Amino acid sequence: MSGWLTRTKQWIGSTLQLPDDLLLDLPRVTWIGSFLLHIENHKGLVKVEKKCISVRVYDGMIEINGDLLHIQSMVADELVIKGDIAQVEYIQQQGGEKK
Amino acid sequence: MKQKLPGTVQVTVKGRAYPVVLQRLHQQSVPLHGITSSGDNEVQFYLSYQSLQTLRKAVFKTGCKIHLKRGQGLIYEIENLFNFKSFIVWLLVAIVLVMGSTRFLWAIELEGATPETRQEVGEALRDQGFLFGTLKRKLPAEDQIAPVLYDEIEQLSWMGLEWRGTKLVVHLKEKQGITINEQLTPSHIVAAKKGTIQSMNIESGQAVENVNSVVKKGQLIVTGLVGREEDKHAVPSKGVVMAETWYEVNVSIPEQLTREALTGKEKKKFVFQVGNIKTPPLSFSRESFVQFAEEEVVAPLKIFGIKLPVQKHVISMYETVRTQTKVDLAEAKKIGLSVAREEVLSIIGGKGRIEQEKFLHEQNENGKVKLTIYLQAIEDIAKVQPFSEETRE
């Protein structure tokens, strides 16, 4: 998606007072304490390991580091990750593609 | 049915391209649960039984290996139900249930007596612990329950318990008529007839006459006043006094006797009846009898053991011939004697017997034989005669 389209969408969103995640297909991440992470609007899994889980999102990846991680459920656009979550990293890639 | 039951499968995907498998499953929007990594390049998750098909497509050409393991869910439980082991278990359970249930009382059936008595007995039994679903062992025995019931229900004269499987059948007999507690009043025994006393069997009272004494009708044989002269008290007399009595019987027998005898010829007529409508009698033979005896048998018509609503009357006609036989004196005497005996026996009742018989007189008159027969019988002549104590002396 080119830059101007994104900007236009952002402008429409701000004018109509719509949440950005709906309009731009962006993920919404809810982190509860250190043990539960709720990711909406994900695009799939990239890596599943005990210490690291990578989730594909619209414009990049979300990498979760921690210990004893596991995915409780993956239903449609929702993902619930459990475990001792130490770090959540948003790795942005332009257009959702790897550089 | 199998398609709709809930159930999960544990899937282990092994291979470097496991993210591709997950990605494809996600694209097919297959819900996954409990995704964990179980080793290097190995991931484990649960998915519903119904989405196994999609999994196969997802793994296609990724070079990954999958292992399936049984998860949990109703589908497996039901499968378990139908395998042989559990079949045996259920069979045993059923047998135990049936055997167990036979140890209980399930029904009480009352037979005989009037509905009122049955109702009363039913209530009394309930009070005694005969309730549905109680253990047979814990029920009181027949000899325990019977006296209680006899006590409680006056009308009951007899009861019997019978087990028919789990059903208890109680047979009841009611007292017939009204029971009177006989209050015997003081009484004498007098002679009902003239006769010679042969034997006496006195239960209560004091004999006045002796054996071999001749008594007239109404003469006192046993007195109800017992005791010494000064101190007599009245009792009801009871006893049997067998005495010799005499009867004279006059019998007249005609010399000509008409008898009807069967010739052996038989004819049958059939009448069919539906409701109140009868067919005319149907007969297969053309013989006609001048004299005949008829016999009718009615039975429902049956075909192959099935009753039809048709009544079948079978009228059997037997041809008879009326013969007249002449009776000579010896035969007439025989007949007369048997008639006389019968008559006397009917008078003297069950305890009596005939001792001696004698022809006193025989006369042939107007085609009839007239006989006078003397019969000596032994019978009970005791007749209870009550008296009131106030009137004595």
Most A CBs within 10 Å, among B37, B41, B62, to test the A interface = B37
Most B CBs within 10 Å, among A52, A71, A75, A80, to test the B interface = A71
Average pLDDT over chain B reads 83
The predicted pLDDT at position B2 comes to 55
The predicted pLDDT at position A95 comes to 53
Question: Residue range A34-55: average pLDDT?
Answer: 90
Distances (CA, A) of B378 to A9, A34, B375: 140, 125, 10
Dihedral angle sign, alpha carbons of residues B170, B175, B177, B178? negative
The predicted pLDDT at position A62 comes to 92
3-class secondary structure, A52: strand
Question: Which residue in B121, B385, B122 sits closest to B237, CA to CA?
Answer: B385
Of the candidates A47, A48, A75, the beta carbon closest to that of B31 is on A75
**Could you report the per-residue pLDDT of B61-74, keeping only the tens digit for each?**
888 898 998 878 88
The predicted pLDDT at position B177 comes to 65
Residue A31 pLDDT exceeds 90: yes
CB B113 within 8 A of CB B155: yes
User: In chain B, what residues touch A76 (CB-CB under 8 Å)?
Assistant: 29, 31
- Using the structure block, give the residue that is written with the tokens 């006094």: B241
Q: For the domain covering B8-78, report its CATH number.
A: 3.30.70.260
The predicted pLDDT at position A96 comes to 45
CB A34 within 8 A of CB A85: yes
A48 touches chain B (CB under 8 A): yes
The predicted pLDDT at position B97 comes to 93
Task: Sketch out chain A's domains with CATH numbers.
Answer: 25-96 (2.60.40.2000)
What is the nearest CA distance from B39 to chain A, expressed in angstroms? 8
Q: For the domain covering B107-174, report its CATH number.
A: 3.10.20
What is d(CA B93, CA B97) in angstroms, rounded to the nearest whole number?
A: 6
Dihedral angle sign, alpha carbons of residues B193, B198, B203, B207? positive
Question: Which residue in B154, B229, B33 sits closest to A81, CA to CA?
Answer: B33
What is d(CA A53, CA A46) in angstroms, rounded to the nearest whole number?
A: 8
CB A46 within 8 A of CB A61: yes
CB neighbourhood size of A41 (10 A)? 18
Here the ipTM equals 0.80
Q: Count A/B contacts: CB-CB distance under 8 Å.
A: 49
The predicted pLDDT at position B178 comes to 60
**Could you report the per-residue pLDDT of B169-186, keeping only the tens digit for each?**
888 888 776 655 566 788
The predicted pLDDT at position B180 comes to 57
Per-position b or e across A57-90, b if 16+ CB within 10 A of its CB: bbbbbbbbbbeebbbbbbeeeebbbbbebeebee
Looking at per-residue pLDDT, the higher value among B100 and A94 belongs to B100
**Chain B residues within 8 A (CB-CB) of chain A?**
18-19, 22-23, 26-27, 29, 31-37, 43, 45
CB neighbourhood size of B161 (10 A)? 18
Looking at per-residue pLDDT, the higher value among A95 and B140 belongs to B140
What is d(CA B351, CA B379) in angstroms, rounded to the nearest whole number?
A: 6
The predicted pLDDT at position B91 comes to 92
Sequence ranges of chain B with CATH classification 3.10.20: 107-174
CB B209 within 8 A of CB B197: yes
The predicted pLDDT at position A88 comes to 92
Q: At what angle do helices B84-101 and B74-82 cross, to 10 degrees?
A: 70
Sequence ranges of chain B with CATH classification 3.30.70.260: 8-78
Residue A99 pLDDT exceeds 50: no
Show the low-confidence residues of chain B (pLDDT under 50): 392-393
